[in-house]
Structure formats: structure tokens, C-alpha cells
Amino acid sequence: MKDSTTTQKMNVDQSKTTLICLPFAGGSKFAFHRLEAYLSAFCQVKTIELPGRGTRFAEPLLLSADLIVADAWKQIRPWITDAPYAFLGHSMGSWLTFLMAHEIRKAGLQPPSHLFLSGREAPSIPASEPHDYLLSAAAFKAKLKSYGGFDAQILENEEAYAFFEPIIRADFQVLETWKYQPQMPLDIPATVLSGTNEDITEAELRAWSLEFNGEIRFKKFEGDHFFLFEHAEAFSNIIKQRLFEGTLN
């Protein structure tokens, strides 16, 4: 494990780098649209689409970790070539990013040049009890409001919320019923990003260090769970710096 502040030069070809993005609970392939204007200036952005939302809204929702990981892996596998690539995951996407990195290692494929893990505690931290996905309708909506960042028009519009609520609840179920199994640490550099007002402790963030032999750094932004959209340009600049310059301001 390393938590170094030494500047490291990254040998990544900017013109050919792919950034694979994995969305938060309830998010579709368009979840990162507020960031793409900045990210696409220095890399190729690809985002997965899970069943039951976005362009796959007619497909059944997945309620188990094994199924959701298998679906994500099918989409990501063709993007893994000899060209450089990295992962960005937010919230549930950080969990998926972590699991995809282990799938890549099992398959003996070229590893990503970097993992960006945003808005989530380390996978070794147990899920809350009782589980949030079992909350009543009113309590579940209140929980979503507490995160900030969710479209207020959706939360307050009964028809729109009725469409999105089962999607988000299903993702919570996957996350909260998944059982952590310790694995050999990853030899990949990582950056853990978080908001100052998130319901995540410093110890829960630092526990990510247990999952890596590669260099791991930590960066905080002012804001709630969706801080990355409040600071889209600065957030994107961190990714650019870490990929191509090896620095973190």
C-alpha cells in the first residue's frame, strides 16, 4: 500500500486514452453528461448502460451482484485493448469499478492505467443496517433527498418518481446485499474522491488503501454526494492531471 505525495510521470497516450465511466445508483449511460464536455477534451469517454434504465429501460432490473457484474463485464470487455484506458466510477460505479478491475486481472488482460473512485466508502465497509432498500416509500424518498444532486423535479413529480424509484431501489438492493470477499490488492494507482458533506467517514475512505498495492491518493471537494457535478471542471482537471501528469493539487 502507498499513500505517497511524490509526483509521478504517467506514460499515457492522451489522444488514445479511453475513460470508462460507471454510473451511480439509478444512473443511465447519460449520468456523466455534465462532465463529458470537460472529459472529452482529453480522452474518449465510454459509459455502460445497465438493464432497466436509459436505452435499456424495457429490460428487467437486475437484483443480484453476480448478474449486474456479469452484465457490466460484457459491455466493458470489448473496450479493453492494448490502448491505454482508465476507469471512473461514482457511488455504485466505484463499487463496479473495483470489481471490474478484479475481473480484468482474472482474465489476464492489460490493467487500467488508473482507477478514479468517487463518492463511496471502501468495499470492506459493511452496508447499513437495516438496509435502505427496505425503507418505506416516504423514508426512501427522504433518503434520496439527503444526498442532494437528484433532480428535484423528478423527486416531486409523482409520475416521474414512480418510474425512477424502483430502479434506484433495485441498485441499493444489489449494493446492500453484496458480500465483501477480501482479494489480493490491485497493482493499479487510484484516486479516491469525496465530498466534504457526504455521510462517509475519513476512516471509511482511507480503508480503500487496503485494496491497492499501487499508489493511492485522496482528494476532497466541497459539497454533498454529487460534488462532482458541482465542481465538474475542477473534478475533470484532477482526472487529467492524474492520467497525464501524475500530479494532484
User: How far, in whole angstroms, is CA 40 from its chain's centroid?
Assistant: 18
| SS3 state of residue 187 | coil
Tell me 222's DSSP state. Answer: S
Closest CA relative to residue 54, chosen from 28, 31, 33: 28
Is 91 among the catalytic positions? yes
Q: What angle do CA 229, 128, 166 make, to 5 degrees?
A: 60
Catalytic residue among 28, 91, 94, 236: 91
**Grid-cell match 462532482, residue found:** 228
In sequence order, the β-bridge partners of residue 87 are 20, 115
10 Å Cβ neighbour count for 48? 23
Residues marked as catalytic: 91
